[in-house]
Amino acid sequence: MAKDEIQQWINSTWDKIERKMSVQCDRIGERIPYVPEDGVYREDMGESDIFWWTNGFWPGMLWHMYQATKEDKYKAAAEGVERRLDAAFDGFNGLHHDVGFMWLHSAVANYRLTGSERSKTRGMHAANLLAGRYNPRGKFIRAWNEDCTGWIIIDSMMNIPLLYWASEETNDPRFSYIAMDHADTVLRQAVREDGSCNHIAILDPENGELIEAPGGQGFASGSSWSRGQSWALYGFALSYRYTKDERYLHAAKLIAHYFMANVSTTGFVPLVDFRSPKEPVKWDTTAGVCAACGLLELADALPEYEQELYRNAAINILRATDERFCNWNVTEDSIVNGGTAAYHGQRHAEVPIIYGDYFFIEALLRLNNKHVLLW
């Protein structure tokens, strides 16, 4: 496709995002959306589950809109959500491995864009909670609570940027050491030689040796949950950004090539699992839009002559998602349809999910060169 045609699509899609996000910001404000019912965000996660791992994506979308448009209403709503999230700090047992997802896009985003010291404190508090989950013998950050002592999950690669940020802010390498130890363990135990990944790896907490690799949110053990692939792709690209360790760049490329090869066989929209039976067909647009951001991050890390492959793949995914799944009707909530939480189970299958919208907006900002890093 010709360059000016692509630019036209980027411009018109951004205009649609601006129109829809402006109306949604007025309608939703400080409430915390997750999945709409019949086109309306009825549930406020701030009321029903303040600990829910996706609670940072709405403020992340608002901060992206604020920095792109400078409209104060986005900042006000994002700050309101950030204050509400303080209630999660009061409930230690409810907190988990996903504090990066929750506070990178709320408090840390606020600090990065406005310099707010109160927000920096919240971000550091979250970073310390994440660092506190580190197992120094197994050299990993454990997932979940209770009896999951040796569990790691691929999603964690998107949480550890909180630790890189904390090291940069404090000039204290401890946080980065933990992040890198964890990334090394994930690379060894959850990324396969062909670039596919396990969602979960259960390790011996005494020494980090692999015991078992269940399928988690994918089809089965040994399969390839596509959102897990995108967490890994983008996560390793981000670890490379912060550390400049070539092993992470190599991992991000390997996973990217695997993702691109698979998604190109289904019209650039990913199946929920790349290694699942042909029927029933189950889509997950959220995996595609997250991978698109990872591919664009990867392109930015590479010399110009290597960038096109990744950038074109990202554009193919985003355009296919737009054509087949985007809802630009401003009277309805949410943008990207076709998101699926997990391969098994009917709940939240092929529906709009808040992080699908987050990554779609981030990707368009990246293509527009209006992007700021919130990871």
Residues 22-61, mask of contacts with ligand GLY (x by CB under 6 A):
-------------------------------x--------
Q: Identify the active-site residue in 90, 98, 204, 300.
A: 98
Q: Does 156 bind ligand GLY (CB under 6 A)?
A: no
| Phi, psi for 351 (deg, rounded to 5) | -130, 170
- Minimum distance from CB of 284 to ligand GLY (Å)? 10
Question: Which residues are bridge partners to 271 per DSSP?
Answer: 283
Interactions with ligand GLY, residue window 205-224 (CB under 6 A): 217
Locate 171 and state its tokens. Answer: 């000039």
Q: Identify the active-site residue in 155, 181, 273, 357.
A: 155
CA 130/CA 107 separation, integer angstroms: 15
CA angle 194, 296, 168 (to 5 degrees): 95
- Minimum distance from CB of 231 to ligand GLY (Å)? 7
Locate 36 and state its tokens. Answer: 């709409």
Nearer to ligand GLY, 53 or 165 (CB): 53
Nearer to ligand GLY, 342 or 367 (CB): 342
Nearer to ligand GLY, 135 or 159 (CB): 159
Q: Which of 178, 138, 137 is nearest to 156 (CA)?
A: 178
- Minimum distance from CB of 72 to ligand GLY (Å)? 31
Q: State the amino acid at position 346 in one-letter form.
A: Q
Q: Does 67 bind ligand GLY (CB under 6 A)?
A: no
| β-pairing verdict for 140-141 and 134-135 | antiparallel
Give the total of residues touching ligand GLY (CB under 6 A).
5
Nearer to ligand GLY, 227 or 253 (CB): 227
300 included as an active-site residue: no
Cβ neighbors of 148 (< 8 A, separation 6 or more) are 142
CA angle 47, 53, 58 (to 5 degrees): 70
H helical segments located in 91-193: 99-103, 109-114, 117-131, 161-170, 174-190
Q: Which of 4, 1, 68, 14 is nearest to 335 (CA)?
A: 14
Q: Does 258 bind ligand GLY (CB under 6 A)?
A: no
CA 247/CA 240 separation, integer angstroms: 8
Q: Does 197 bind ligand GLY (CB under 6 A)?
A: no
98 included as an active-site residue: yes
Nearer to ligand GLY, 34 or 310 (CB): 34
Report the residue from 64, 227, 241, 311 that binds ligand GLY according to the rule CB under 6 A.
227
Cβ neighbors of 75 (< 8 A, separation 6 or more) are 62, 63, 66, 114
- Minimum distance from CB of 196 to ligand GLY (Å)? 16
- Minimum distance from CB of 354 to ligand GLY (Å)? 11
Using CB positions, name the residue nearest to ligand GLY: 155
Q: Which of 341, 284, 344 is nearest to 317 (CA)?
A: 284
Interactions with ligand GLY, residue window 304-363 (CB under 6 A): 341
- Minimum distance from CB of 340 to ligand GLY (Å)? 9
Report the residue from 30, 79, 82, 155 that binds ligand GLY according to the rule CB under 6 A.
155
Burial class (CB in 10 A: 0-12, 13-18, 19+), 136: exposed
- CA dist 241 to 131, 248, 278, 296, Å? 20, 9, 37, 12
- Minimum distance from CB of 7 to ligand GLY (Å)? 32
Nearer to ligand GLY, 111 or 358 (CB): 358
Interactions with ligand GLY, residue window 77-106 (CB under 6 A): none
Nearer to ligand GLY, 34 or 53 (CB): 53
Name the residues that contact ligand GLY, by CB under 6 A: 53, 155, 217, 227, 341
Residues taking part in catalysis: 98, 155
